């Protein structure tokens, strides 16, 4: 099956810093989503981005489908950005395959 690799596995920042999270996938995909898992376990949708670039406030994402990677940018990070960020892909088989996540810690 398709492989999804996220990097870095852990990231520690000071409040106000910028960061880039990466997601590599091993085959072509029809769907790519970024999620933030809150402390209670719910996966919060950040971006649905099979290709191209999107922005939502301090967050933006870019997917280069031909090169099989996606990037999530967080600017001016805040302590509330802390948590685990997941990338998930789908290959038209009705299932999302997740990466292992990036644990982001933003210190005040």
DSSP result, 18-52: -EEEEEEESS--SEEEEEEE-TTSPEEEEEE-SSE
Q: Minimum distance from CB of 17 to other proteins (Å)? A: 27
Q: Which residues lie near other proteins (CB under 8 A)?
A: 30-31, 33, 35, 40-43, 45, 48, 50, 86, 88, 90, 92-98, 100-101
Cβ atoms of residues 93 and 83 within 8 Å: no
Tell me the CA end-to-end span of the chain in Å, nearest whole number: 40
Q: Minimum distance from CB of 28 to other proteins (Å)? A: 11
Q: Which is nearer to other proteins, 48 or 64 (CB)?
A: 48
Q: Which is nearer to other proteins, 15 or 44 (CB)?
A: 44
Q: Which is nearer to other proteins, 14 or 56 (CB)?
A: 56
Q: Minimum distance from CB of 61 to other proteins (Å)? A: 13
Distances, alpha carbon 64 to alpha carbons 24, 34, 44, 50, 106, in Å = 10, 14, 23, 8, 27
């Amino acid at each position: 099956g398709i492989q999804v690799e996220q990097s870095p596995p852990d990231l520690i920042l000071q409040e106000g810093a910028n960061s880039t999270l990466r997601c590599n996938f091993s085959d072509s995909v029809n769907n790519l989503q970024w999620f933030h898992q809150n402390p209670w376990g719910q996966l919060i949708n950040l971006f649905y981005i099979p290709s191209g670039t999107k922005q939502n406030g301090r967050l933006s994402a870019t997917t280069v489908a031909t090169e099989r990677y996606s990037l999530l940018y967080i600017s001016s990070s805040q302590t509330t950005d802390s948590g685990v960020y997941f990338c998930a892909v789908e290959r038209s088989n009705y299932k999302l395959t997740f990466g292992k996540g990036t644990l982001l810690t933003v210190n005040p």
